[in-house]
């Protein structure tokens, strides 16, 4: 069971949901094209169209209103828009919009400056590279944790299946504890080092 589970988890971890810089079109996109681009790259499978959407027109408009994204040029969005939307997408599952704005403020403060575009793209390139390395380390750590969990003695008259289920409960509980620590660390760093914006 464990070997099969780790194989599935490894596949899940390595199935990157990132938008690579090479994936981003060189030409500008209208908002409907932007939605379609994100849905193709990051959309979820499902029957409900709203649940499948990675990003919507309303979200984009709200990000602009909240100062997370620069307004479009005419009605078109460039590569910097796509990169910022990809960053926001990856951060919003853990952080509040307010904390995302605080975190991104150093690159958003001069958001309307065209020279800022290369800075945004460079930041995203570094983020993708470091994330890949971090995910590999996480995968190794997960295998180590699974090995330790499998060695745990489970007392009582339990079937092998019940013992496996209890070990799986331990494994999931430790993963959630780790996720909570990482979230708390990220929030602490934002509170400590990023300007409070209101």
- What residue segments make up the domains of the chain, in order of their start? 2-193
> For 82-133, what is each residue's pLDDT tens digit?
999 999 999 999 999 999 999 998 888 766 666 678 888 999 999 999 999 9
Question: Which residue did the predictor score with more confidence, 43 or 89?
Answer: 89
**Please, which residues have CB within 8 angstroms of residue 167's CB and are 6 or more apart in sequence?**
149, 150, 152, 154
Residue-wise pLDDT for 86-98, tens only, equals: 999 999 999 999 9
Residue 79 contacts residue 125 (beta carbons within 8 Å): no
The angle at the Cα of 20, spanning 45 to 108, to the nearest 5 degrees, equals 105
Question: Which residues lie closer than 8 Å to 16 by C-beta, 6 or more apart?
Answer: 132, 135
| pLDDT of res. 75 | 92
Q: What is the pTM of this model?
A: 0.86
**151 SS3 class:** coil
Q: Note the pLDDT of residue 148.
A: 92
Q: Tell me, what DSSP letter sits at residue 21?
A: G
Q: Convert the pLDDT of each residue in 135-150 to its tens digit.
A: 889 888 988 998 899 8
Q: Binning pLDDT at 50, 70 and 90, where does residue 47 land?
A: very low
Please name the residues in contact with 113: beta carbons below 8 A apart, sequence gap of 6 or more: none
Q: 140: which 2 tokens?
A: 């190794």
pLDDT higher than 80, residue 52: no
% pLDDT > 90, the chain: 54
CA–CA gap between residue 24 and residue 137 (Å, rounded): 27
């Amino acid at each position: 069971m464990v070997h099969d589970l780790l194989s599935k988890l490894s596949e899940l971890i390595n199935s990157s949901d990132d938008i690579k810089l090479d994936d981003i079109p060189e030409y500008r996109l209208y908002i409907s094209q932007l939605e379609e681009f994100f849905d193709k790259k990051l959309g979820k499978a499902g029957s409900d169209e709203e649940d499948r959407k990675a990003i919507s027109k309303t979200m984009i408009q709200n990000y602009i209103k909240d100062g997370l994204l620069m307004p479009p040029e005419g009605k078109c969005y460039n590569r910097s828009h796509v990169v910022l939307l990809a960053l926001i997408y990856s951060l919003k599952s853990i952080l509040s919009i307010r904390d995302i704005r605080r975190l991104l403020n150093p690159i958003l403060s001069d958001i309307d400056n065209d020279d800022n575009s290369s800075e945004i793209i460079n930041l995203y390139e570094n983020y993708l590279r470091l994330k890949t390395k971090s995910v590999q380390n996480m995968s190794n750590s997960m295998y180590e944790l699974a090995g330790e969990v499998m060695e745990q003695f489970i007392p009582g008259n339990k079937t092998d299946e019940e013992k496996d289920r209890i070990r799986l409960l331990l494994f999931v509980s430790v993963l959630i504890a780790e996720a909570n620590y990482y979230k708390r660390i990220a929030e602490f760093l934002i509170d400590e080092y990023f300007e409070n914006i209101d």
